[in-house]
Structure 1
Amino acid sequence: MYRILATALLGAFSLGACAQPAPPAGGASPAAKPAAAGSAEQHARQALAQLVPGAQPDYIGDAPFAGFREVLLSGQVLYVSDDGRFLMQSQPFDIQARRPAASPGLMAFRRQALEGVPEQERIVFSPPNPKYTISVFTDVECGYCRRMHQEIAEYNRLGIAVEYLAFPRMGMGSDDFRDMVSVWCSADRKRALTQAKAGTRVPGKQCTSPVAMHYALGQRIGVTGTPAVFAQDGSQLGGYMPPQQMIQALERMSAEAGGAR
């Protein structure tokens, strides 16, 4: 779907609202609710269906800025104007918050999706009583993933628990994918992940692993590269941040959330 959408967008100059909306996807996400006739959500659905017939967004809701709907479609965060005419593909950056802009609705969608991954399917590096917990989609090849893991003890010392999910960025069937399956199938996953990220070859293993499921989940919620860091509220913090910068971002978010009550 991603490739089809990209091809369609390359050939489109603007969006109309003359096509019929695609049937909404099932599930409990906000996108499953029928859109009122003439509403901004219906215009967004019609516009997307005009570009990609049968398109079924995982999420549609208010954008974090006026005049647009925020859409999650095949892992891409898109913004469609309320009249269904214009589309933006790039997720804006919130300069004040210092993280990718996202609406409360999209954050809730991502939080719910991440909460569906049991702790036993993650590889967890945590201090005894963590103050903050982050979910990190990672692979064993990317340079910044390796750099982040080299500093895992400092994240933990600052009170940050790091819960890894697998995202083999080279795709299913790649050596990267097979290496991550071997890591998740190891008797000592933490040791195997640390060795793999240090460049040591992990002995090949096979089992019923969650790697493919993690990869699909990451694509669904908009992960396009690694590391992809999410806070507990579902907000995406971006990619690699040094430990001190990470704790400052988490403390700032916590203060903002406290002030909003």
Structure 2
Amino acid sequence: MKKVLLLSLSTVFLLSSCVSKKQFTDLQAKQKETQDLLNSATVKLNTCLEDKASVTARATALEERIADLKDTNDNLQILSAKGASNVEKTLESLKEKDLKITRLQDAITKKDSVTLALVTSLKREVGINDPDIEVNVEKGVVFISIADKLLFKSGSYNVTNKAKDVLAKVAKVINSKPDFEAMIEGHTDNVSYRKEPLLDNWDLSVKRSTSIIRVLQELGVNPGQLIAAGRSSYVPLVDNDTAENRARNRRTRVVILPKIDQFYDMIEKEMKNLEAGGQ
């Protein structure tokens, strides 16, 4: 711009020496007009440059925003796909759990059905009308409670001949259920007992249990199904405050239950079948 101005002044100076005053004045006016146009063009140019810089900045910001939105959209699509996959996996897991629960319920139902059939068989074989023999179910377990007066003489652990008739019926039921076990529990009252070689009520309760087990074995019961147990006087049915109550507490209980390992094997088998079916 300075060069243009100097050139204009030089031109004016040179012309002033060669032209008339009127021509010089006209040239000055023309030069001023040119200078005004130049100044105006410079202002417009600067304004345009500023507008361009502003527009460029806005364009850059918009491009960055678009890039961010694109990245966000891509991430949302990835998250959406993962979310859908997770939901699908969760639903599959819930279905598997439902199937497992159903299988377990079926296994328990099957066990309960067997238990019910066993109770019916026991009541038919042993005799439901005998007040000294009770057949019941406690928490899914079948048991026969036999009063001691049917099995032993007072203070003795030798099984009476009359008891063998009752035990023969019990043996028949146990033999019909080879997948079950029979735990023979001896129970006494709280009257202290000591008679050589037995030391106390513990010994008496266990000895009565093993005596019955030997009779059952003689009657053909598989000894692998039999379990000897003595509870002494610590699980009474009623308070030992009368002779009648003490008589009730002196009893032998035959607990018939499915073999635990076989029951869990059945459940495990169902679980394996379920997993194989899901693959």
Could you tell me the TM-score, scaled by structure 1's length?
0.23
The structure richer in strand per residue is 1
Could you tell me the TM-score, scaled by structure 2's length?
0.22
